Every structure is written in C-alpha cells, then in structure tokens.
Amino acid sequence: MSSSLTPSAAIASGQTCVGLELGSSRIKTMLIGLDHTVLASGVADWENQLVGGLWTYSLEQVWTGIAAAWENLQRDVQQRHGQPLTTTGQLGISAMMHGYLAFDAAGQLLTPFRTWRNTNTSRAAAELSATFGVNIPLRWSVAHLYQAVLDQEEHVPEIAYLCTLAGYVHWQLTGQKVLGIDDASGMFPVVGTPPGFNSELMERFDQLPAVLPLPWTLPKIMPQVLVAGQAAGQLNAQGAAKLDPTGQLKPGAGCCPPEGDAGTGMVATGTVGLGSGNVSVGTSIFAMVVTDQTPPEPLPEIDMVATPDGLPVAMVHCNNGASELGDWAALLTQFAEYLGAATTPDQVFATLLQAALDGQADAGGYLAYNYLAGEPITGTTVGWPLVARRSGQPANLADFARAQVYGVYATLRLGMDLLAGQGIKPDNLLAHGGLFKTPVVAQRFLAAALNVPVTVGQAAGDGGAWGMAVLAAYQLATGGNQPLPDYLSQQVFQTADFTTLEPDPTDVAGFESHLAHYRAGLAMERAIGQIASD
C-alpha cells in the first residue's frame, strides 16, 4: 500500500501503523507509513533480574518501560514532523516468546513472570516430549506450567489464564485474550488446518496423572489462536492510558494479533515462504527455516514452530546471543572513561567488530563462551561467561574480538548441523538484529560460521518492531485476503536494498578449526558452571 500524503499529514490523519516490541534488553516502538517507511521510533532500555534463581521482569517494569518507549516515540514524531502523535490506524504488539505468565480469575499475576531464559524445566520438558512424541523445549510455556504442576506450587489450582508477554500486553490494551500463531507455537504445539493449538495433545496433557485432579483444563486457560491478517480488537481507553500516561493518545486503533519475536523477525526479513530462512541475533540467537519437511525424529535441539500465517518452521534457538559481546563493549567503554577519552558504548561496540576483521581466521587461540544463561543445545545448565587463551599466544585485541563474535555463532552452528542432519539446510539466510548495523563484519563471520550465503537488508537493524508494524499494515491493508508471502514480496520488499555475502573460504576454514577447539572446551564451560552453582 502506498500513500500520496506527506508524513506529517499521514500522522495527523492516523494513516500510519505502530509496532511495539518488548525485547530482552530494549523496548522499541516504531511508527511507519502505509508504504512501510519508518517515520519515527522510540526506545527504552530494561534488564531482567535473577530473583529466587529465576529470570524475571516485574509487570511494573513492563509498563514503565512501554510508557518510556512511547514517550520517546512521541518526542521523535514531534522533532521530525512538528506535531504530536495522537492516533494511529493500526497497532501491533510483539515480545520475546515462551515463558510463563499465569493469572487468576481476577486477572492478578499468581507468580513472577518466568522468562524464556529459565532452564529449570528439564523434567517437565522431557516428560512432555515423551508423552507428545514431539520436542517440547525447556522454555516453552507448557513446560513451565507442567513443571509448576510437578513441583506442586500453591498457585497452580488458581490459574485462570496463561499467556506470553505479548499476549499479556495485548490483553491489557484491548481486553482480548488472543495470540498470533507464531507466538502460540512457543506455548504449545500448533497445527495449521484449522490453525490453532493441537487439541489431541491438549487432551493428552489434561489426562496426565498430575494434571487430572486440577480444576481447569488446558483449553480453558489458553488464549485464542489467530493468524496474520485477522482482526484482534481495538485499543481501548484504559490501554491508551497505559501506552501514553500523558493522555495525548486516543483510543480506537485497530490491533492485529500479538506475535513473538521470531515471527516479527521472519516478517522483517521477508522469510515467510517455503524454503526461506533467517537468523536473528540479539540477547538470544536463533535460526528459522520454513519447511514442509517433518524431521524424521524429534530432537531436543530443534523446535517446530510456525510463521505468522501458520506454515511450519524448524527453529534452532540458543539462549545466549550478543549480550556478552555487549558487556565487553561496556567494560571497554569504562576503560576509555578512565583514560578521559570521549566515547560511547555504540562506538566501542563498532570498534570491537572492526578489530575482529584483523584477527586470525581461527581467532588465534582464543575461546569465548557467551553463556550468561544455561544453554540446552550444549547441555550447559548454568550460565558462566568464560574466555580462555592458548598459553604462549600473545594477547591482542583483534583475535580476542574475533573469538567473541565466533562465540555468538558457535552454539547456533552446532544446532544447524543437527538440522542439516535431518535433511533441512537453507541455501541462503537473511540476518537481522542490531549486530548487523555495523556493515560487513557480523554478516561475513555468520556466513563463515554456517557456511551459507548471508543476506542483510536495509532494515536489518530495525528488527522486530518494524516487522510488527508491517504485520499491522498487512492486517489493515488486506484483512488476510492476500497471502502474507505475496504481500511482503510485492508490497514491502520489491524495491528493498539487500546485500549478500558468500562464505569466504579462509574464514570458513578458520572457523572450522576454531569450532573444534570450542567443542573440546565445552567440558571446561560445564565444569566451571557446576562449580559456580555448588
């Protein structure tokens, strides 16, 4: 859809769409025109806390963070276009997938939000995987729910509604207990025809001995599943006040189904058609390949999820992404401050990436494990970031930096090898996330790590908030009457600027050598994690 209106006129008349995404470290709002161009954005930082051994965000953090991001969006609109943001045509909410938000009949949170990062659900995930005959990852909502059942937590009988973070925010803004099918596929296995949760497996869950005595059944406490293009309510007065406590924002915007960050990443890269694939790099890192192939056997390292319009997706998800690299950038920024040098974390981050280009192809004897949290793919239950250097190897920034970037990708590569062993291997991957705002470096090393061409688009750094805004525009423009892949290829990416890098043979050989040492060093990572938890 295109518009002849000026940006200012489009904003004033509400011919715009907003995507709001709650990521692991940032909450981002993005305003786009009906031609999908970015008109303004707003960001607020937030951090999870480790409380009682579990990773969480408080609901107060959710709303103060959303309000701060919206305030910054309004400020950007005012500065760029000289007017307030009082309305929008369509709104979409996205957030990190999985996790556990359980509410009672009065809508009160029963236990602190448990995020995808928690790995305390191993018994539940294993039992459910055996019961269902499909892989149930540790972070899925049903694994958290069943673990709470097995642990006989007091709140379990009181559960009246279970949802993800995006589903919760959407509910509070609209009153609708609904969820997009991609986000839903991280709660419980879904089917595509008709789209929704797998009812047969829900019945199996409800018949489990530990579940049978409970006063609820799974279908009664789960959200309604919707697909891209379907209407999902309207922003009500209470919701408008939550987004914008200043009262400038009017209620009434239409809302599309809330989605997970995996789904918005697929949309942001245009990879929703069969055979397409993408890699998202943030606090976590994951690869998504849209496929009509069912793996011959369920593997704990491979999730089967869905595109926002319901196609099956094979997903390799790693709990640990670029956060440790960001922490090193923050440390070096502090060092620069001690020297009296004027710099910013973003400048230091970009400098680290550029330095990595000068490192040896195998990272010169450095190993870097970015495990801030446990990592199921490598059987690591406790996060403990670690750097090791071969004795006698001179210390240098370039090799250190390259090892840190390799460390972001190494666990993903191990999972992608398993996926290839199941007969699923993409010919090309589109990459997105803040890491790719620095040209070439992260893209080049990802191509080497996975030995596949990697494409980056001009919106790679905009990520999920832009993808969510595009889903909102899709619902507004088509109501789901045009296939999502066609809409993206014909309306969104037809003239987009993409850059593809082929794997460099020297980098590939260097990464393979590095990965062999990385595999061997995992025993060291597991051991120090065990010592730290004793």
pLDDT < 50 positions in the chain: 1-2
**Cα–Cα distance between 212 and 224 in angstroms, integer?**
22
Residue 518: predicted pLDDT:
97
User: Which SS3 state, helix, strand or coil, does residue 88 take?
Assistant: coil
Residue 54: predicted pLDDT:
92
Nearest one of 422, 442, 416, 432 to 352, comparing CA atoms: 442
With a CB cutoff of 8 Å and minimum separation 6, the contacts of 196 are: 181, 184, 190, 225
Residue 371: predicted pLDDT:
95
CA within 13 Å, CB half, 297: 5
pLDDT in tens, 120-164: 999 999 999 999 999 999 999 999 999 999 999 999 999 999 999
**Cα–Cα distance between 76 and 8 in angstroms, integer?**
12
**Cα–Cα distance between 443 and 234 in angstroms, integer?**
39
Q: Is the distance from CB of 194 to CB of 271 less than 8 angstroms?
A: no
With a CB cutoff of 8 Å and minimum separation 6, the contacts of 51 are: 112
**Cα–Cα distance between 198 and 206 in angstroms, integer?**
13
Q: Across the strands, what pairs with 33? A: 16
In terms of DSSP bridges, do strands 90-95 and 259-260 run parallel, antiparallel, or are they unpaired?
A: parallel
Amino acid code (one letter) for 449 = A
**Cα–Cα distance between 521 and 325 in angstroms, integer?**
19
Task: Please give the sequence-ordered ranges of beta strands (E in DSSP) within 259-403, or none if there are none.
Answer: 259-260, 277-281, 285-290, 303-306, 312-318, 366-369, 386-389
Q: Is the distance from CB of 422 to CB of 296 less than 8 angstroms?
A: yes
Question: pTM, whole model, 2 decimals?
Answer: 0.84
SS3 content of the chain, % helix, strand, coil (to 5): 40, 20, 40
pLDDT in tens, 409-467: 999 999 999 999 988 888 899 998 878 888 899 999 999 999 999 999 876 555 789 99
Residue 175: predicted pLDDT:
98
Q: Is the distance from CB of 521 to CB of 514 less than 8 angstroms?
A: no
Residue 189: predicted pLDDT:
96
With a CB cutoff of 8 Å and minimum separation 6, the contacts of 250 are: 86, 87, 240
CB atoms closer than 10 angstroms to residue 8: 14
| 380: DSSP letter | B
Helix (H), strand (E), coil (C) string for 45-60: ECCCEEECCEEECCHH
Alpha helices in 380-458 (DSSP H): 397-421, 441-450
**Cα–Cα distance between 289 and 279 in angstroms, integer?**
9
Nearest one of 496, 471, 453 to 265, comparing CA atoms: 471
Q: Across the strands, what pairs with 100? A: 114
Residue 300: predicted pLDDT:
84
Q: Is the distance from CB of 309 to CB of 272 less than 8 angstroms?
A: yes
Q: Which residues of 138-147 are buried (b: 16+ CB within 10 A; e: fewer)?
A: bbbbbbbbbb
With a CB cutoff of 8 Å and minimum separation 6, the contacts of 523 are: none
Q: Across the strands, what pairs with 196? A: 191
**Cα–Cα distance between 229 and 160 in angstroms, integer?**
28
Distances (CA, A) of 388 to 331, 351, 405, 407, 521: 18, 22, 14, 12, 9
| 491: DSSP letter | I
Q: Across the strands, what pairs with 277? A: 289
